[in-house]
Chain A
Amino acid sequence: MTTTRTRPNIVGGLGGFLWLIVILVPVYYVVVTSLRSQAGFFDGNPLAPPANPTLDNYKLVLDNDFASYFANSVVVTLATVVVTVAVSLMAAYVVVRRTDRAAAITYKLFLLGLAIPLQAVIIPIYYMITRLRLYDTLLALILPSIAFAIPLTVVILANFLRDVPKELFDAMRVDGAGDWRTLWSLVLPVTKPAVVTVAIYDGLTVWNGFLFPLILTQSPEQRVLPLALWSFQGQFTVNIPAVLAAVVLSTVPVLVLYVLGRRHLASGMTAGFGK
């Protein structure tokens, strides 16, 4: 028994170690370089720790409207997640608790929605957003982001809600609770773990999203973080330490969230496909 366990551990351990290096080298390089001065960047060994670590790059990034890009990202992410989770929870309640055809078709529609690639429909979305006079606004990012987050959110919440015993809903009805009270005092509390999971997943997707901001916004006033990283690259050109400092700064809030809600995140990543 013990002998059968040893060998895969060596093979796996080696693979795991290799992967660790592959992951850590770029991360280490980014952090170390972001602490270098311009001169230190051109002279020293790129993988050695900086001789004179400095926070100047971070200061430069913060002085270049980083806070405003950050705020835009927070607004877009929060608005998208709150609306998505609210409307998806309502829809999940309907598709799970109703047994008629309308509910079944609704669910099928969302399943189909999982397969729509965002890249392929970006041109009609651009068309609609310009016609609605929403081009270069944060709302232009929020509306389609909600639409594309809904299918997976509904499917995950519905899968979770299906396991809730029917008796709980019956008890609510006996108490005379209407649909909205049932949603608020039964559906929301019992699906809370799934809601947290899916909210983190949706939030991460929107926070890191690049295509919608690239196509649907233009001015620095409406710029969100991933796009800001890209434009810093053009703005700072050879000042790579500053660009990498921006990369670090844009990742910090996500890292904090990750450490706080890691278990939720890991299960949420696969929840939609775990069958």
Chain B
Amino acid sequence: MSTVSERRGPTLLMAVPALVFFTVFALAPLAGVAVLSLMRWDGLGTPSWAGLANWPEVLGDPVTHEAIWLSVKVMILSWVVQTPFALLLGLLTARRGRYREVLGVLYFLPLLLSSAAIAIAFKALLDPNFGMSQALHIAALSQDWLGNPDLVLFVVVFVIAWQFIPFHTLLYQAGARQIPAVLYEAAAIDGAGPLRQFFSITLPQLRYTIITSSTLMLVGSLTYFDIVFVLTGGGPGNATRLLPLDMYLTGFSNNDMGRASTIAVLLVVVGVALSLGLSRLARFDRGSQQEGMG
């Protein structure tokens, strides 16, 4: 009796509204972008069939090549900058205490701000004439941060880190709070110092958090758009024209939606490949761990 009614559950109709929204405005566009990558469309008229013509154009375009390369650079730099800070801050804020509560409010402030607000604030702050270079008069800080093509990519990585480190800090904070205190107590009795404890307990215990955070970071770096768009617009020249921005400019400035869709498909494929690869890494890790225990 209970199994029969158990199987019935609520009517499937209740899932229909969510499914309809999701299918029409998220799933169908995903299929649509693949179809549009095979079309020519200026954004106004009717799309016409182009077959695979967009693909060699996109794959042979030096601007897009550069955009791919820039995106890879930003992806790697972002991971290298954000992970150690997020990890350290996560561990720091994981401990509870009164003053940490207050600090916590400030630490996570960037989470609340829109990319547009953050980009506008930094644009003003980094302005060589009105920003901090006029305040501090330290030569090393008085650069044309956003105008120098050799510097600007690092500035973009920094501003992105400013925006996203708090989110990853929260992940590490949640992970660190789940490490049993007994492990540290036992290690302390065995005479392990703080460094030893960090490498022998904290890091191994956090490995799934590290994989989760890294996956979100690496895949997420393929979607950095708004902050770069407002901060630099891709410039100077094409120095910060990352792949999503390349897609936007190709589609909405050059009115070539077909090519832009091809770039979008590229983004999806790389993103899915990355997350599948990383989740396989996680599963492999979990499997070998079980083997070791068996």
Residues of A within 8 A of B127 (CB): 240
Residues of A within 8 A of B248 (CB): 122
Alpha-carbon distance A204/B17, docked complex (angstroms): 23
Residue of B nearest to A210 (CB): B226
Residue of A nearest to B178 (CB): A274
Alpha-carbon distance A30/B265, docked complex (angstroms): 38
The segment from B52-60, B105-113, B147-155 that touches chain A is B105-113
User: What 8 pairs between A and B have smallest CB-CB spacing?
Assistant: A124-B32, A147-B25, A98-B9, A208-B114, A47-B135, A124-B29, A91-B18, A121-B29
| A93 close to B (CB within 8 Å) | yes
Min C-beta distance of B52 to chain A, whole Å: 18
Residues of A within 8 A of B275 (CB): 115
Give a binary string over A136-149; 1 marks a CB under 8 Å from any B CB, 0 the rest: 00000001101110
Number of interface residues, chain B, beta carbon within 8 A: 103
The segment from A53-61, A190-198, A226-234 that touches chain B is A226-234
10 contacts between A and B (CB under 8 A): A45-B134, A116-B27, A119-B223, A123-B36, A123-B261, A204-B111, A244-B121, A250-B114, A258-B105, A275-B212
| A163 close to B (CB within 8 Å) | no
Contacting A at CB under 8 A, from B104-140, are: 104-118, 120-122, 124-125, 127, 130-132, 134-136
Residues of B within 8 A of A133 (CB): none
A20 touches B198 (CB 8 A): no
Residues of A within 8 A of B165 (CB): 19
| A99 close to B (CB within 8 Å) | yes
Alpha-carbon distance A3/B66, docked complex (angstroms): 52
Residues of A within 8 A of B197 (CB): 4
| B80 close to A (CB within 8 Å) | no
* A interface, CB within 8 angstroms of B: 1, 4-5, 7-8, 11-13, 15-16, 19-20, 22-27, 29-30, 33, 41-42, 45-48, 83, 86-88, 90-91, 93-95, 97-100, 102-103, 106, 109-110, 113, 115-128, 143-144, 146-148, 150-151, 154, 166, 170, 173, 179, 182-183, 204, 207-211, 214-215, 225-227, 229-230, 233, 240, 243-244, 247, 250-251, 254-255, 258-259, 262, 265-266, 269-270, 273-275
A117 touches B117 (CB 8 A): no
Min C-beta distance of B151 to chain A, whole Å: 18
Alpha-carbon distance A1/B106, docked complex (angstroms): 30
| B77 close to A (CB within 8 Å) | no
| B67 close to A (CB within 8 Å) | no
Alpha-carbon distance A118/B261, docked complex (angstroms): 13
B22 touches A12 (CB 8 A): no
Residues of B within 8 A of A144 (CB): 25-26
Known: A119-B244, A147-B25. A204 touches B112 (CB 8 A): yes
| B206 close to A (CB within 8 Å) | no
Residues of B within 8 A of A166 (CB): 6
A251 touches B112 (CB 8 A): yes
Residue of B nearest to A153 (CB): B18
